[in-house]
Each structure stands twice: as C-alpha cells, then as structure tokens.
Amino acid sequence: MYRTHSCGELRAAHSNTEVTLAGWVQGVRDKGFMIYIDLRDRYGITQLYFDEERTSKDIMEKAQKLGREFVVQAKGTVVERASKNPNIPTGDIEVLVSELNILNTSLVPPFTIEDNTDGGDDLRMKYRYLDIRRNPVKESLIFRHKVAQAVRNYLSGEGFIEVETPYLIKSTPEGARDFVVPSRMNEGQFYALPQSPQTFKQLLMVGGMDKYFQIVKCFRDEDLRADRQPEFTQIDCEMAFVEQEDILNTFEGLTRHLIKEINGVEVEKFPRMLYDDAMRLYGNDKPDIRFGMEFGELNEVAQHKDFNVFNSAELVVGIAVPGGNSYTRKEIDKLIDWVKRPQIGALGMVYCRCNEDGTYKSSVDKFYDQDDLAKWAEVTGANKGDLICVLSGETNKVRAQLSALRMELAERLGLRKADEFAPLWVMDFPLLEWDEETERYHAMHHPFTSPKPGQLELLDTKPGEVKANAYDLVLNGNEIGGGSIRIHDKPTQAIMLKHLGFSEEEARAQFGFLIDAFEYGAPPHGGIAFGLDRLVAILGGQETIRDFIAFPKNNSGRDVMIDAPAPIDEDQLDELNLKLNLKS
C-alpha cells in the first residue's frame, strides 16, 4: 500500500496517528535544521516536517535533494502544527517524517504548478498532463464528472436506456464536413466519424427502445474557435410516441435538475420564444435574456427625413443602453470603432443621448428634431440617462452587428452574471435555409426534421416559409441543446429529400437503410441533443470549454501535446491504397 490517507484528509483528530502519504512535491522550504515540504495529490496538500533532532541524517539528506514535482512516499506521525495555516483544510497538522522514499524524480516543470501559473496557453497545452495537476483544471474535470453523473442519474430515473452507437459509420450530408477513415479491408472505401448518432437513435426508436440516451463523442471537420472542438461530446436523447410538448417538459426537468444539483439554484420559468421574434428582438437565435436591451426597429420613425444613410437602409434598428448617457464622447467613439472592426463589419453608428431633463442630443441633430428623437426613445424603451445606439443596413447583417454590440455592452456593464441562469426555448425555426453558393435549399437542422403540422404542402409553393417542428434550448445566451420531432414515414421523408435536391437514386444510396426502416412500423418520435462541453462550462461559470476537456485541441485543430494530426508512413499509405496529392 503506497498510502493510508490522502493529502487532503488529515485533521487535528488524527494527531499521534502513524500515516503513509504519497504524492508530488509542491514546494520545499529548507531552513537548514528543519525542512518543510508541501506534498500534493488530487485531494489536497499536507505539510511534511523534517527536524534534525528527531529525523535521521540520511532522511534529512534525502529531503534536501527533493525538487518540485518529485513523486515521493512519506511515512510518519501526525502532529499539531505550531503555526497553523487557515488557508488549507489540513492546516492544523503536519506529518513528522520517519521514512522517505523517492518514487520518481522530475525535471523542473516548464511552468509553475500553481493556481495562478506563469505558463501561457500554448505551453500549458503542450504539457497538458502537468496542467491537469493545477487546481483550476483538476477541479474543472471533476466538475464535468459531476455533471455527467447527474445527467445519467436523472435520465435513468426517467426510464431512459443508455445505448452505444457506432463510431465508424457511413458519410452522410449533415451540414459540416465529415472526418473520414479509410478501410484497409474494403479497398477504396471509407468510413466517416459521426457528426451525431442521428440515424442510429431513430433506428433505436424503430427497434422499440422507447427512451434512449447516450453521452457520446461526435466529430465535425469545421473551423474552430474557443467554444468549438473538432471532437465534442453530446448528451444525445430520443423518445418514441411523443409530441413536442412531451420533449420540452422532459428536458426542462433535466435542465432544472442540473442547475439545482450542481449550482444550488432553483429555476422555475422556461419561457418560449419564436425564432422570428428572437431574430427581431435580439438579432440572433440564442438570445441572452438575463438583461434587457431589446431591439427597437426604427424604420417608421427614422426614415423619410433627409438622412440618406437611414433612407437607403433595409433596416434601421437601435438599443437603449441603461445609464449610457454617462459615457464620454471618447468612450462613445471607442464604441463606434468597436462596431467598425472587421469582425463586426458595421460602417458606423448613430447615437442619441437621453438627458435627465427630458431633452435629447444625437449625432444626427442636423436631420432630426426633439420630437423625432423622442420617438426613437419610445421605440427602443430608452429612459432618461440612457444612450440609444443605432445601426442600419441589410437586415440580417445589421441584426448580427447590433447583437454583437448588445453582448459587448452587457459584458462591460456587468449584466452577464455567471451565477444567474436564464433558460429559454426558441421554437419554430425555418425548416430550410437558402444557400447562395449552391443556389439551393439546405436543411436548417438535418434532413430528418419534420415540418410543423399542416405545412408540408408549402414545400412546393413557398419552401422558405415552412417552419420546422424544431426547438433549441438556450441558456445564458448559448445554445445548449437542440432537437426536433422527426419524420417517421417514408412518403414524407421522400418529399423532404426531394426538396433538398436529392434524386431518388441519391436518397436511396445515402439513406436507404433509414427509409427502409420506416416501412416496418416506425413510431412517431423525436429528441434532443445537449452539448455537454458547453453546458458544463456554463454551469461552471466559464465562457470557454477548453478547461473542461482533459486533452483539448487548439484553434487549428491540433493536439500540440502529441503533435497530431501527423503524416503516416508510405507503408501505411500503400496498405490503404492511398496516394497523396498535396497542393503547394
């Protein structure tokens, strides 16, 4: 036995107990005649004590040779500390060491293994196994475990069965690029890694499993950012013999349970918002409703003057910034520069101060009088002391720009509080979206999403107006889950695939197995998938997912620790019948 206790376990009640500890050397303080060593494991830190009057000479010499991150085993007696440390749970005691074994030495770490480290992101990614020893990362991984366990416990209690589905599947068009895997045994043919287990969970419903879930890895070969990884984890769920309301109620329950279980916060309301309203009021389909600043569309009260910037715009829209009239001209100019950055893309910003005396002062006073500006305030809900920020241009672009500004202002104003949770269902998404590049419609979610009841016929006449029987669960401005009621009969699925541009032959080649299954008594079914990485980060009060993943990849999709992806040798290429044709 390497240890009798952990390094976070001992208290004053253990005084005079003989113990054996094992862990990493956090730090050494050599006073000459006394040596203090902080020994660390996953559970905490215990101070080891060496005293030349009570410790043998050879053990003292061995202790003097210890360096940071050496792995050691120490045996000794628990004693009460003369100078207690109230900052750690074991701060009332120390261990007077009688036997010391060096289990492994360590090079000097490339960064300090402390909560506040001197290592940058790239360095810590390269030595991730060292970074995991730091409390922030360690606690994040433990936190993720707690969330995953809470999910499993809840869904199991609701009668869901966890079923594993394959990782080596057939490539199907689901919106993003697939990662493909060549098959040695089937020359010239390839597997794909699943973007989601979508078709398999539907087949499980055909198979009568009734309630399925899986915490599963998914893969998408797409551009990355701080909250996106090429491999990510879903809480994947499906239910048979359900309508939309059944699914919403079930997963409201899961979300409410997680927030209560993990954060101790009671959430009662799960408001619902139409997709069209979300875009109109917030400029995106995952609005953060912890704060206001809803959009006010100003076309009727800002156009038809002599200001051509607004007159020529498809949409003129503004938000009221609470207390924003206190901003200096310099601060407002910085906001204008912010929206003009390439990442946002606005050409400029008009503003209007709402003075305490009820008057208004705008950057376009030449064109608008006090009555005009009062109407701006009415439409945007601005009060005395607020600042109205107005953007104009093409509808979709300007909504996205103002949405980004709204979130930036909320961050600056401290309105996005990590300990406050505001869930929201966004409903009735468009079934299809037009792609300018391919000049055809694509499924906004996936090809198996059913249209809203009674709208199937519109696919022939007004496909862009058809609404999907789909729903997203948003939490604090982040989409944490999305799903739909599925198509479960062959004729409807055939119509859907036809409108997505599939010929009968293509549909048969891609989805024949699912279409065939629908002819053998497929039940009505639907489901949802939660992004576990994002959900854990939000519950943990963080904006990025990386620290909640044991071995994440960087924004280029590289694992800098193991140096992957990497070339494979010629023998492997020959065995797979592959030939590289790299473009310079």
Residue among 399, 376, 190 nearest 284 (CA): 399
Q: How far apart are CA 74 and CA 562, in angstroms?
A: 33
Q: Is 531 annotated in some ligand binding site?
A: yes
Residue among 514, 556, 577 nearest 205 (CA): 514
Q: How far apart are CA 339 and CA 403, in angstroms?
A: 11
The separation between the first and the last C-alpha atoms of the chain, rounded to the nearest angstrom, is: 58
Residue among 478, 536, 533, 482 nearest 287 (CA): 478
Around Cβ 267, how many Cβ atoms within 10 Å? 18
Residue among 471, 491, 473, 474 nearest 483 (CA): 471
Q: How far apart are CA 234 and CA 578, in angstroms?
A: 32
Q: Is 229 annotated in some ligand binding site?
A: yes
Q: How far apart are CA 26 and CA 93, in angstroms?
A: 17
What's the burial of 461, exposed, middle or buried (CB within 10 Å: 0-12/13-18/19+)? exposed
User: What is the dihedral sign for C-alpha 216, 219, 220, 223?
Assistant: positive
Q: Is 174 annotated in some ligand binding site?
A: yes
DSSP-derived secondary structure letter, 466 = P
Q: How far apart are CA 305 and CA 371, in angstroms?
A: 13
Instruction: With beta carbons less than 8 A apart as the criterion, state whether 146 and 169 touch.
Output: no
Q: Is 257 annotated in some ligand binding site?
A: no
Q: Is 67 annotated in some ligand binding site?
A: no
3-state class (DSSP) for residue 230: coil
Identify the residue whose tokens are 């089937």: 186
Q: Is 414 annotated in some ligand binding site?
A: no
Q: Is 220 annotated in some ligand binding site?
A: yes
Taking 3-state DSSP, the helix, strand and coil percentages for the chain, each rounded to the nearest 5, stand at 30, 25, 45
Q: Is 381 left (phi over 0), alpha (psi -120 to 50) or beta?
A: left
Q: How far apart are CA 93 and CA 229, in angstroms?
A: 44
Q: How far apart are CA 454 and CA 458, in angstroms?
A: 9
Q: Is 432 annotated in some ligand binding site?
A: no
What's the burial of 284, exposed, middle or buried (CB within 10 Å: 0-12/13-18/19+)? buried
Q: Is 445 annotated in some ligand binding site?
A: yes
Encoding tokens for residue 278? 């979300």
DSSP-derived secondary structure letter, 424 = E
* Size of the chain, expressed as the number of residues it contains: 584
Adjacent-strand bridge partners of 474: 424, 479
Q: Is 290 annotated in some ligand binding site?
A: no
DSSP-derived secondary structure letter, 465 = G
Pairing of the two strands 71-80 and 423-427: unpaired
Angle between helices 135-157 and 244-263 (to 10 degrees): 140
Q: Is 221 annotated in some ligand binding site?
A: yes
Encoding tokens for residue 561? 């620790």
Binding site members for L-aspartate: 174, 220, 445, 486
Binding site members: 174, 220-222, 229, 445, 479, 486, 531-534
Binding site members for ATP: 220-222, 229, 479, 531-534
